[in-house]
Every structure is written in structure tokens, then in C-alpha cells.
Amino acid sequence: MAYSYKGAITFGLVYIPITLVASIKNNDIGFNMIDKKTMSRVKYKKTCVDCDNREVKNEDIVKGYQYEKGKYVIFTDKDFEKIKTQKDKNITISQFVNLSQVDPIYFDRSFYVKPLGADKAFSVLLEAMEKENKAGIAKTVLGTKETLLLLRAKDGKMLASSLFFYDEVVKAPQITKQKTSKTEVELAVNLINQMTRAFKPQEFQDEYNKKLKKAIKAKIAGNEIVAEKEQTQPSKIINLMEALQKSLILNEKESKRKVKREA
């Protein structure tokens, strides 16, 4: 969301003014497009197609819908606002669901919900949702797009996650189920259980981002980037049983090494 949303959560006759606060920050490293001959930045200009490609300033650009070839109707910000009803501007909860029923494939972006008044009503709703492990399904219009939202409670905080609509989610490709043996499945189950532990997000770092920053510093200092020595990878095993058995052994050894390092 490129702007700050201020509105209200409504359910039944309850009205709670709120704002949505971004829950994610972008750590991507930005690169500019450069002309390799002149080392000058490459910029993209907005031009008018029917005006000999004359450059158009942002303040002269409006939104238009093409209803026939070459024919447009113009929509201003005021037009979009006139279309919205008060219900569209609010986050209106239509029902509550068990959070476990919502397939993660529908999740898009998440925001923290902060009350801007009616603090008691907000606290009651938050506590009740967390107690029952329920999530609210709501809709609102953000910008020029109706957005499906899921409101959920976690650790005393309320989050709003935008969801994809049903017709936006592509059906999974058909996969031919292969015949498996009981022993193969048992070995796979053992390997999964052996590798299972609590999810701690702080343990997972963006290693490539760190290497990229290191490479940038090397380039600035006038040094060449040196390729890191690859860790030896296990040789490819065609036999599935053998691959599972060796994986169990390797994982057990790695687990023991990890325990020693942490001791």
C-alpha cells in the first residue's frame, strides 16, 4: 500500500475508527539502469503517443478508460470518491471464520491495525477473536480496487491481511500420482520427523542480500568479486530408497554437529 489507510472497522452496529500500518519493510537493494558506454543513468520518459512522443509531466496525466479504439472517458480522483459509499470506505466484517479454514494461498499482504478511538470496543473485539481463534472476513475499497480482507488476532495485536479473490487464484496443475511402497513412505516420514522443529523466523536470514552488500563494497574499493567456494554437494542418487536412507544418516550427523556447536 503506497498510502496510509484511515477508516473504520464495522461489525453489527459497532464502529471502530482505525488506521492500517505496514507490517513489512523492503530490504531489497536497488540498482539503477546505466549506459555502459557513458556510465550515465538511463531514465524512462512518459510520452504522448499522438504528439510526436512529446514528454508529458505527471501533473498533466489523468486516468482514462478506453471504451472504443482511440476513445476514452476520463476519471478523476473525485470521480472515484463519488462512486464509493460509506460502506466501501469502511472495513465491513460480513462473517467470522476459523483461521485454519483459510488456505494460505489466498494471503497477499498484511498490516497492523491501530485504533484511532473507541479503544474499549477495539480491545473487546481483539480479545474475543483471540479467545475463540476466529478471524473476520471483510471488504473495503483501497484506492480504486475492492479488497478482500481477513482480520485476525495474534499475541494481543490485530492484523489485517489482504486476500486474493477466489477467481484470482489459479487452479493447481494436474499431477499423476505415482505408486509408492510402504517402506518408502515410512522412510520419508522418519526423515520429515527427524527434520521437524519449532519455526523460529529469526533463524532465517537473507544470506544472498549479505553477499550482495559485500560484493558492492568490494566493487567500490576497486576489487574484483571472488566466487565463493562451493560446498560439496551429495552426488545424485537415482534409487529413491537409497536417497532416503542416506538423507537420514546425513541429517542425523548434522544434528549431532549442531548440538555440539550449541553446547
Report the candidate in 13, 28, 27, 19 with the shortest Cα–Cα distance to residue 1: 19
Are 196 and 113 in a shared domain?
Answer: no
Are 13 and 101 in a shared domain?
Answer: yes
| pLDDT given for residue 234 in this prediction | 59
Q: What is the pLDDT of residues 234-246, one digit of tens each?
A: 566 668 888 888 8
Q: Can you give 4-40 as a three-state secondary structure string?
A: CEEEEEEECCEEEEEEEEECCCCCCCCCCCEECCCCE
Residue 52 lies in a domain: no
Which residue did the predictor score with more confidence, 132 or 239?
Answer: 132
| pLDDT given for residue 158 in this prediction | 96
pLDDT band at 166 (very low <50, low <70, confident <90, very high): very high
Cα–Cα dist 214/211, whole Å: 5
- pLDDT of 18 strictly over 50: yes
Residue 65 lies in a domain: no
Structural domain that includes position 113: 5-27+82-168
Cα–Cα dist 192/187, whole Å: 9
Answer for the pair 8, 91: CB distance below 8 angstroms, yes or no. Answer: yes
- Mean of the pLDDT values across residues 156-164? 95
Residue 242 lies in a domain: yes
Q: What is the pLDDT of residues 49-72, one digit of tens each?
A: 888 889 999 899 999 999 999 899
Residue 89 lies in a domain: yes
Longest Cα–Cα distance of the chain, Å, equals 73
Residue type, 221: A
| pLDDT given for residue 1 in this prediction | 45
Are 115 and 23 in a shared domain?
Answer: yes
Question: 197: helix, coil or strand?
Answer: coil
| pLDDT given for residue 112 in this prediction | 95
Are 20 and 150 in a shared domain?
Answer: yes
Answer for the pair 149, 142: CB distance below 8 angstroms, yes or no. Answer: no
| pLDDT given for residue 156 in this prediction | 92
